[in-house]
């Protein structure tokens, strides 16, 4: 009885993208739900394309997502000697053969196969070589790759995928794939099996792009005499144009760290990712992380590819609206005490942080009230430093459209605003309950609709045309700042 072990095995040929993030998430959820071990393995066998920067950014992405691994990161490149050893064993046992065909010869073979309308399957001349002849040529220093000798027996491979169901493939449809290059460096299909065996992986959860590769890997398991793990393949995530997501084509939306940098909550992003290709079978959409772990099942994974919607031209749709919406939900449902530490780094980054806001600090309660009031209309954490800037600093910008709409149309505001400030100055207490009658009385006396003053005041005090209820916001910002801003706005008219 071995315990459940799953792994996420990205190759560091790029940063962590959303598809990878989701694969990692599903592995993590599965492990968490069943008390298994979640392993991280970096597949860096392709030295040409792998680099440390990418590895770092993948780890960063996973950390931000909160997908903590129990073991690793292991680096595939560290096991090369073992991979080579296994390949030599396979060769010795007759499960593989030396493929002496040069690149040119292979290309020729493939062209001939194509011309004959047959798929290329084997390096037939090499495969037909006697062991003695093969040994002799190898000893003579002739370069060769090692290829798996797919049985010629009319049989096939079969496995039951947890998502896609029973999968069968005839040996006659599987080509003799290479295990080792002529320089003895190992290739993907071989390495994955070696490492999954070495790490005693019991369940492989990965992208659907590996579905057909699985048959090759099964062949290796069989040759090795090792019981293969179970498999679950995940549908792919595509771009709105239905093509594969790529940074070149689709830009930053595909990178997990973009979501971090744009003020996403990791739990919200996990929630979004989980819903891309999975559902509990009901209509529930907003999940806390605990609920997600509870509800997650492989059976709920769908087989069709999902599309992540976004638009390069519309900044409000820089990523999927659903993701944004989910973030807003999480932002608004989260206890304020939990939200506060998440907003802190954002404010720090914008130079808006005050240590008095911290838990136990003099202004902590005020800070929580501010977050509570502001978040109803905010979507991401970044909003606190953007449209929310005026609540934390005096050097905020006034939105041009807001100024035109609320301050620019009524010239008499030049007098009305300072007069309002005078009234506020004299108010016995600066609370929303006390402020509202004051403003309304003021507008009555002036014979204008309260809305004119209310909207002008909102823009003067916060720089925005939208925001929380004015009187609550005034109370929050405080008498001194409010009055100063009302007068300053009037001076600029």
Q: Give the residue numbers marked as catalytic.
A: 247
Rounded to an integer, what distance in angstroms lies between the CA atom of residue 323 and that of residue 268?
A: 8
Instruction: Kindly state whether residue 175 participates in binding RNA, applying the rule CB under 7 A.
Output: yes
Instruction: Kindly state whether residue 61 participates in binding RNA, applying the rule CB under 7 A.
Output: no
Instruction: Kindly state whether residue 195 participates in binding RNA, applying the rule CB under 7 A.
Output: no
Instruction: Kindly state whether residue 455 participates in binding RNA, applying the rule CB under 7 A.
Output: yes
Instruction: Kindly state whether residue 130 participates in binding RNA, applying the rule CB under 7 A.
Output: no
Instruction: Kindly state whether residue 43 participates in binding RNA, applying the rule CB under 7 A.
Output: yes
Of residues 422-451, which lie at the interface with RNA (CB under 7 A)? Answer: 436, 450-451
Applying CB under 7 A, among 2, 35, 103, 130 the residue interacting with RNA is 103
| Closer residue to RNA, CB minimum distance, 77 or 289 | 77
The residues, ordered by sequence, that sit 6+ positions from 7 with a Cβ below 8 Å of its Cβ are 27, 38, 39, 40, 41, 72, 196, 199, 201, 204
Instruction: Kindly state whether residue 55 participates in binding RNA, applying the rule CB under 7 A.
Output: no
Instruction: Kindly state whether residue 182 participates in binding RNA, applying the rule CB under 7 A.
Output: yes
Instruction: Kindly state whether residue 117 participates in binding RNA, applying the rule CB under 7 A.
Output: yes
Q: What is the DSSP string of 282-302?
A: SS-----HHHHHHH--GGGB-
Q: Is the peptide bond before 60 cis (omega within 30 degrees of 0)?
A: no
Instruction: Kindly state whether residue 306 participates in binding RNA, applying the rule CB under 7 A.
Output: yes
Closest CB 221 distance from RNA, rounded Å: 16
C-beta neighbour count of 60 within 10 angstroms? 15
Of residues 257-296, which lie at the interface with RNA (CB under 7 A)? Answer: 275-279, 281-283, 285
Applying CB under 7 A, among 169, 330, 389, 485 the residue interacting with RNA is 169
Of residues 319-378, which lie at the interface with RNA (CB under 7 A)? Answer: 320-322, 325, 376-377
Helix (H, G, I), strand (E, B) or coil at 187: coil
Residue 286: what are its φ and ψ, rounded to 5°? Answer: -95, 115
The residues, ordered by sequence, that sit 6+ positions from 325 with a Cβ below 8 Å of its Cβ are none
Closest CB 111 distance from RNA, rounded Å: 12
Residue 282: what are its φ and ψ, rounded to 5°? Answer: -125, -165
**Residue for token digits 């304020």?**
336
The residues, ordered by sequence, that sit 6+ positions from 245 with a Cβ below 8 Å of its Cβ are 17, 18, 19, 237, 238, 239, 253, 254, 308
| Closer residue to RNA, CB minimum distance, 67 or 379 | 379
Quick one: which segment of 38-46, 132-140, 388-396, 421-429 binds RNA (CB under 7 A)? 38-46
| Closer residue to RNA, CB minimum distance, 2 or 103 | 103
């Amino acid at each position: 009885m071995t315990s459940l072990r799953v792994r996420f095995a990205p190759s560091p040929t790029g940063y962590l993208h959303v598809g990878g993030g989701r694969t990692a998430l599903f592995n993590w959820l599965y492990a968490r739900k069943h008390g298994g071990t979640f392993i991280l393995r970096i597949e860096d066998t392709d030295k040409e394309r792998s680099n440390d920067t990418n590895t770092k950014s993948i780890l960063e992405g996973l950390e931000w997502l909160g997908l903590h691994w129990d073991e690793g990161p292991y680096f595939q490149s560290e096991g090369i000697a073992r991979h080579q050893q296994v390949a030599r064993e396979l060769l010795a046992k007759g499960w593989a053969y030396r493929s002496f065909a040069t690149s040119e010869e292979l290309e020729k073979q493939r062209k001939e196969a194509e011309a004959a309308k047959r798929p290329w399957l084997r390096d037939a001349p090499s495969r037909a070589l006697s062991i003695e002849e093969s040994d002799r040529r190898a000893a003579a220093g002739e370069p060769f790759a090692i290829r798996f000798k797919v049985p010629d027996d009319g049989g096939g491979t079969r496995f039951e995928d947890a998502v896609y169901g029973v999968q069968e493939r005839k040996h006659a449809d599987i080509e003799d794939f290479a295990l080792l290059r002529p320089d003895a460096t190992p290739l993907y299909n071989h390495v994955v099996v070696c490492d999954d065996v070495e790490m005693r992986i019991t369940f492989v959860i990965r992208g659907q792009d590996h579905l057909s590769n699985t048959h090759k890997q099964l062949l290796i398991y069989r040759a090795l005499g090792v019981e293969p793990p179970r498999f679950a393949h995940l549908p792919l995530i595509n771009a709105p144009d239905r093509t594969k997501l790529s940074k070149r084509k689709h830009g930053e939306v595909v990178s997990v760290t973009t979501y971090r940098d744009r003020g996403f909550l990791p739990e919200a992003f996990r929630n979004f990712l989980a819903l891309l290709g999975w559902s509990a079978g009901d209509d529930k959409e907003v999940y806390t992380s605990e609920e997600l772990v509870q509800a997650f099942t492989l059976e709920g994974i769908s087989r069709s590819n999902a599309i992540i919607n976004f638009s390069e031209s519309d900044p409000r749709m820089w990523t999927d609206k659903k993701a944004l919406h989910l973030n807003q939900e999480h932002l608004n449902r989260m206890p304020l005490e939990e939200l506060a530490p998440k907003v802190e780094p954002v404010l720090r980054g914008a130079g808006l942080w005050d240590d008095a806001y911290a838990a136990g600090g003099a202004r902590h309660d005020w800070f929580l009230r501010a977050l509570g009031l502001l978040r109803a209309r905010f979507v991401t954490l970044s909003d606190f430093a953007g449209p929310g800037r005026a609540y934390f600093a005096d050097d905020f910008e006034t939105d041009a459209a807001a100024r035109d709409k609320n301050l620019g149309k009524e010239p008499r505001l030049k007098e009305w605003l300072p007069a309002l400030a005078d009234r506020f100055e004299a108010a016995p207490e600066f609370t929303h309950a006390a402020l509202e009658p004051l403003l309304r009385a003021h507008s009555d006396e002036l014979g204008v609709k309260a809305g004119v003053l209310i909207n002008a005041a909102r823009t003067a005090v916060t720089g925005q045309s939208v925001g929380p209820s004015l009187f609550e916001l005034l109370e929050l910002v405080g008498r001194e700042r409010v009055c100063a801003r009302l007068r300053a706005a009037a001076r600029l008219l």
